[in-house]
Amino acid sequence: MTAERLRRLLEEAEQARADVAEANARASDLHRRHVARVNHLNGCVDSAESDAAILREHVAEFEAALKKSTAEAAALREELEDARRVAAEPMGLLLRNGAPHSVHASVQAAKDYAATLGADPSGWVPSGTARGPLTGWSIMHIQQQGAGS
């Protein structure tokens, strides 16, 4: 083997070591970046899972609030319908000798009250019937304002 050949082999070996060192450095850098990216993505996954858990809790809270609101709305609708039914029934203005005596939630309530004051429970005649001079007890039907709306 000649000195020239040995020198070239040594140079090639040195170049190969340099190439290997450079490849190792590049591989290390790529590995470091890959590990950093994986760690970043794992952090994103953890954050997304945490956010999803929080959102599930909020959804459950909103669903419960919606159920409660729906139940409250149904109760309010029922209350409104009850109020409309009551408002549709005429109130009774109880008159004594033609003068206002008291106002009652219904005509029947006015009759019942008048009976406690001595009015004849069977002596009522339909509203608007002519009976001569106003004496004794009578009832005027009063429609509540806004009834039937």
Average pLDDT over every residue of 120-138: 67
| Least reliable range by pLDDT among 81-85, 87-91, 121-125, 130-134 | 130-134
Torsions phi, psi of 102, nearest 5? -165, 160
pLDDT(130) > 70: no
Burial grade of 114 (CB within 10 A; 0-12, 13-18, 19 or more):
buried
Cα distance between residue 115 and residue 80, in whole Å: 31
Q: What is the DSSP string of the chain?
A: --HHHHHHHHHHHHHHHHHHHHHHHHHHHHHHHHHHHHHHHHHHHHHHHHHHHHHHHHHHHHHHHHHHHHHHHHHHHHHHHHHHHHHHSPEEEEEETTEEEEEESSHHHHHHHHHHTT--TT----TT---SS--SEEEEEEPPTTTT-
- Position 97 scores a pLDDT of 86
Whether this model's pTM surpasses 0.85: no
pLDDT(67) > 80: yes
* Residues 121/139, Cβ–Cβ less than 8 Å: no
- Position 124 scores a pLDDT of 78
- Position 47 scores a pLDDT of 96
pLDDT 10s digits, 79-115: 999 888 877 788 889 998 889 999 998 888 999 999 9
